[in-house]
């Protein structure tokens, strides 16, 4: 797997998980036990946790592969992405530690500035670290 593929898969898992979380929050559930849709929330959160674990090195590897100077010129931004990802990771792990995951808990996670900042960071990373287009 290339560094570009690894990063793209991580971003996809995080974005897909967040989209599922929006739908789950709207269900008004008290627990994730019971219906299949409720149980899936843990699967999505687990995938997000896996994607966040090691996200910063994946971003740095992709930046280095694109242009080694990016690590120096963008170090402060990459540090902010890492901080946002670590806080989001901790919040997701907190939710997963609960015996029941309610729609309200997920709605509060969705509203978290840390998770929103991470998503915005990833939009920037995804666009900024795309390989240059080949000329025909």
The pLDDT, as a whole number, for residue 82 is 97
Select 3-128's CATH number: 1.10.10, 3.40.1710, 1.20.120, 1.10.287.
Answer: 1.20.120
The structure tokens listed for 2 are 């290339």
3-state DSSP call for residue 32?
A: coil
- The DSSP letter of residue 99 is S
One digit per residue, pLDDT tens: the chain, 136 residues? 566 689 999 999 999 999 999 999 999 999 998 766 556 899 999 999 999 999 999 999 999 999 999 999 999 999 999 999 999 999 999 999 999 999 999 999 999 999 999 999 999 999 999 887 765 5
Asked if 26 and 106 touch (Cβ cutoff 8 Å), the reply is: no
Q: Return d(Cα 100, Cα 115) in angstroms, integer.
A: 21
Asked if 60 and 81 touch (Cβ cutoff 8 Å), the reply is: no
The pLDDT, as a whole number, for residue 38 is 56
3-state DSSP call for residue 129?
A: coil
Confidence (pTM): 0.89
∠ CA 67-7-93, rounded to 5°: 130
The structure tokens listed for 10 are 């991580």
Asked if 98 and 31 touch (Cβ cutoff 8 Å), the reply is: no
Domain boundaries, the chain: 3-128
């Amino acid at each position: 797997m290339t560094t570009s593929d690894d990063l793209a898969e991580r971003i996809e898992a995080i974005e897909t998980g967040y989209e599922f979380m929006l739908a789950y929050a709207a269900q008004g559930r008290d627990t994730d036990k019971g219906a299949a849709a409720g149980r899936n929330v843990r699967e999505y959160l687990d995938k997000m946790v896996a994607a966040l674990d090691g996200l910063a090195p994946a971003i740095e590897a992709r930046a280095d592969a694109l242009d080694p100077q990016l690590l120096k010129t963008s170090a402060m931004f990459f540090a902010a992405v890492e901080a946002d990802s670590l806080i989001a990771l901790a919040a997701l792990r907190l939710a997963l530690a609960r015996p029941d995951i309610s729609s309200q808990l997920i709605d509060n996670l969705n509203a978290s500035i840390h998770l929103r900042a991470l998503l915005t960071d990833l939009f920037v990373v995804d666009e900024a670290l795309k390989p240059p287009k080949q000329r025909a």
